[in-house]
Structure 1
């Protein structure tokens, strides 16, 4: 199957509730389900002639979106990772260090992601925000009583990556890519302030090829499966949370339970088209580790095709014997830095306020320039009478285009006047005034003619 990668940027906060609770606490997911991207493409269902193969079979698989850090696809922290209580910096692998599990006080590392850099695991956690809201009564034009609610949301400006696996028999690959690219909306409260994202196609995501599928490096013949996505298993047609050789799709081997680290969750997906909740899903969560013994090579190869159901929604993806489960690797914690992208102003109110602020800043700057000019030339300017400032102000008021030439003529006329008293008034400041006439704009001179008479 061909794998097509996409990068997704959150332009706004995104609400992806972990549970279906309508009351009480509900935290946010730390990934975007593949069903979201399937739904985005399914909005154009009628455009596709191969709609059944694309939307109802595993021939097209939409992966879950995970953080995209420094051009690398991040992975969820495995649940086999533990650390000593009070010291989260020293992380170790549970099945490789049984003595620490038996004699030490340890805590499971359940949150966060990591990227692999030169065999160094770099851990980080996603930021989220909480906003308290109130329902609005449009008739009374106020908040409704007893209708407060809150949302935890993933922060905007974060980068994510996902991929779509397309079978070679699908002829409408370009339509799928076209339907995914561009500005989209996902999650809850899309009509309010949440959910806006931008999706674009990229060539590939680094880090996909560093996790080897090799039984030769495993410990005592044990094979470790890392859940790179959620896994939905079925037993006799019913969903189950207990893995077995059969529901994993294997024909050989057995599960080594003492080295497994599995977490689960149950939820009901919401279908936006039908406006209804679907049946409950019981899944093994991303980051779980399943240990197997005596598995044949042919079975290991079959795991590449996925495990369990809902494969078209990104479920069932596993990594076999990734290097971070086969040996202890040094680790560090770092904070993901995101550049706050400049947002285009779209509302008329914000445009008006920004324009008013800019105008106020310009007026303050001109005011400071006028004050500095008067203060530094106080002795020279005090000889000019109020009536002469008034005449200059009248020129500025009624001569919008040729005001510089007319002021220059007015100053030269008085400077060359036979009246020694008038000539004396301009002798000391003629050079300064003419210099400002060439450098400064109309607004500067208007303010100067108002402030100068008051300064003396």
Structure 2
């Protein structure tokens, strides 16, 4: 079997809903389903020598795309990973735990992805509120608000296309040509979303290292799996993974879902599918070589759309206890885009100014907290040692435009009946505080009030 590996880069935000529903709380996929790539190639359906083999036989399999961390492929968080409630730094493989009594309460870790080196990453989203357009009134349509959660521009993904030897070279070349010229993905492609770039990749580590085959075998669902029984009916029963499968249900962790795909060419929904989600972990007893080969060839149906891809004994499921560094809130970094246009530079400047003001405000809050006893009496009641009128004068000096504003402030607070003491002057003037800092401090100081429970 030949394997073609490609990289996908988001050139805009991408919306990938997990369902074809248009109402209600719609969840988003955190991967790119292989059916998207099959659909891209299917635009040239009539040009293939044997279209049935390409799209319906399972001899060509368009795999799901998963997020890249640097140049490392990632894997959906295994459902066998658990952690003690409130302690996410250490994870435990459920199927390797022998004594559950030593844990107060275990919680399943479900979200995110991991690399083969056990680095946890999460995908970040942008949310946008939209409204339908009323063409007759040329305004927003009444009662037609909706929102999109989109994966951020700049993310990079990797997927593979597996092709059997029976597929002709001409058809393979047409697949390559079609997939590389495809540049749209997801929902609302005619608006601000959906722009991508697909390129060939030389990163080939898509399977993960595997441990030797033991008496008990761990199956990791790298993609979704759709099982059918002996009558061809969809089922969640794990015994249909392979012939005579001996499942250890006590050590298996699965998650199921159902969805109804929308066929764009037919412009209608197809039959509902019931699937076992990626990241599920199943333990098999006494796996034979014949069963192993059967699993490696793909499990269940819809193989052409990337379903049925299962890893046997991946390395990240072989350790009982796993330590993760900075596992919480680890996001995928995206490449920074060079700012060239005047509009982009203007918007970037506004963003930088907002961040600068926020940093100054945080510094002011810290100053007030650190110097509370210097500027306020706490007991018997909360009272400011510096009158609001003095802070008003300092603010007036800051807004006067005088370059020597610090000298003028020092002269004001060092002389007169209401001169500050040495500790107060040193707190304000000894450090090289900026004009904006002192101005904001003079605004915030008169607003300070004591705690309600103080005497």
Task: Give the CA deviation at 1:13.
Answer: 1.1
Match of 1:195 in 2: 194
Q: 1:291 to 1:354 in 2, by over 3 A?
A: closer
Residue of structure 2 equivalent to 1:248: 241
TM-score by length of 1: 0.71
Equivalent position SS for 1:150? strand
**Correspondence for 2:81:** 81
* CA displacement 1:325-357 (0-9 Å, x = unmatched): 122343232432211334887xxxxx8x67999
Partner of 1:214: 212
Aligned to 2:173: 174
1:274 matched to 2:266? The reply is: yes
Does the 8 Å contact 2:207/2:311 carry over to 1? no
Q: Is the 8 A contact 2:9 2:196 kept in 1?
A: yes
Quote how far apart the aligned CAs of 1:22 are. 2.1
Aligned-partner Cα distance in 2 for 1:31–1:72: 15
**CA displacement, residues 14-67 of structure 1 (integer Å, 9 cap, x when unaligned):** 111123332221121001111100000001112211211101111100000000
- Mapped to 2, the partners of 1:209 and 1:39 lie a distance apart of 24
The aligned length equals: 340
| Residue 370 of structure 1: aligned partner | none
Contact between 2:262 and 2:268, CA under 8 Å: does it hold in 1?
A: yes
- Deviations along 1:197-251, one digit per CA (max 9) or x if unpaired, are 1000112333x354216313xxxx211110000000001211011211xx2122x
Q: Does 1:133 align with 2:127?
A: no
Alpha-carbon distance, 1:301 to partner: 2.1
Aligned with 1:178: secondary structure? Answer: helix
In structure 1, how many angstroms separate the alpha carbons of the residues matched to 2:77 and 2:37?
24
Q: Does 1:46 align with 2:46?
A: yes
Q: Secondary structure at the match of 1:194?
A: coil
1:231 paired residue number: 225
Q: Distance in 2 between matches of 1:31 and 1:101?
A: 36
Is residue 2–residue 167 contact of structure 1 (8 Å, CA) maintained in 2? Answer: yes
Residues 99, 198 of structure 1: CA spacing in aligned structure 2 closer, same or farther, 3 A cutoff? same
Partners of 1:234 and 1:253 in 2: CA distance? 14
The runs of at least 4 consecutive aligned structure 1 residues that moved more than 6 Å come to: 354-357
- For 1:335, the equivalent position in structure 2 comes to 331
Aligned residue for 2:183, secondary structure, equals: strand
Task: Write the distance in 2 (CA, Å) between the matches of 1:354 and 1:316.
Answer: 45
Q: Give a deviation string over 1:57-109, Cα, whole Å, max 9, x none.
A: 11100000000112111000100001111111111111112424774211101
| Inter-partner Cα distance in structure 2 for 1:23 and 1:306 | 34
Separation of aligned partners in 1, 2:273 and 2:228: 11
Could you say if the C-alpha distance between residues 261 and 343 of structure 1 is closer, same or farther in structure 2, counting changes exceeding 3 Å? farther
Report the CA distance shift for 1:132/1:59 in structure 2 as closer, same or farther (over 3 A).
same
- Cα RMSD between the aligned structures? 2.0
Q: Which runs of 5+ in 1 are unaligned?
A: 346-350, 358-456
